[in-house]
Structure 1
């Protein structure tokens, strides 16, 4: 409403000037202002592109011309392997978009989750993306980008289970993926003897199906994928924990971190980031 009022007032002023015999002068001023605004917009866009190009030019990567991403491609819909052996998912596409912004080619290295974290920490990869949550412990050994997605830790149980909430996990055997926040939370809350760590979420869910564990704690997005593929399992309504996902890089690698954050900011502003998330996670 305020914008409409301002527009009407502006129109009235132009008409008033025309009635006073200032038509030619007003038109010239309007054209000059329009030209100046267009020039300013072009300058702003050019400056933004120049900033991205400069950031890309300053970045030193593990492999020249490439942005190497370590991940665990068994975490749908963030990273997964297709039948043809290619990688796809939210993290894969976001990483590809970042690489493009930086003028680099994306290289994906698939490995266990723990190894993916260590690769980034030790500089064997440029960054780690695998639905990684920022924790105090991880911040001691690596640096993190701005948040690019949100996650929920969920509990998967058999449909006939007597487990109805996180409190009911006490005294039960819980399956998790090794090195994840789900493993950390569960060992902190229920003790290491109550938690079994598996190499990936799929193996943990298979153990649940086989009766080797009573529940599985894992991120909500992959939990939905696993439950959909395994009749007889369900996700509890109450979330175990909520957290933010970020990109991890080696401690002190400020130039790369700044370049990644700059690219993420642009991808957020132009809607690319949200469109990638929406492609894999449908609104409920």
Structure 2
């Protein structure tokens, strides 16, 4: 386990193409237990030019877990236990906008959560908390990602709304057109409740959405297929690795990271009276909310 430190520790949630990075040293897979159940996989610890990084395959190695069965709570919990301070979520998405072409990266700044079969909070009966999701991603991280993408020569768009659907099926045409009418920009299946749980865990969180297709709304493109998505994913893997390599030194030298407001959102979020808090739940929250609970 990583010890608490003022220096940022970067956590990357994504697929295998994101953690197969040239120059990543001292790598080791470590099983980290969570009171919220089994995470998607072990954590890959490593260093990139002296910067500590921890990778988590969201669907498990070999992509064995569908979106609705990912244990999002355990995933965020083990990253926090491992010492992660900054989470970068790398996700495949469909585009709902003509100008967001397959192969582009989008630094998302808003979400619409349409999932319904997932555990979405750490704070259940016995310790209730309400955190703000008005600005659901860390703008500081977004600034670093944008600068890193530009340096890496990646075609990137800053800002956009990510519609998170339950899946695992892709959208119907009617759904795709509905989401476009809501001014959504990209669509995917994985970033909720991930972003909500990262906020509850006082982790800085940002999404890099990698466009693989035009969903099914585009009249001049075939309906989305797995083969099409996989092809673009493979093409994007090198760009994703390059992006991570450019992000690492920026976050490592960010002296203002510790003052980021993402890291103190629980300060006034807990609402359950002290004498009514469930001791067993508090034990489960030792990593997520230990700072505010005195753990």
TM over 0.5: no
Q: Considering fraction of residues, name the structure with more helix.
A: 1
Larger Rg over CA atoms: 1
Q: Which has the higher contact order (CA 8 A, sep 6+)?
A: 2
TM-score, normalised relative to structure 1? 0.26
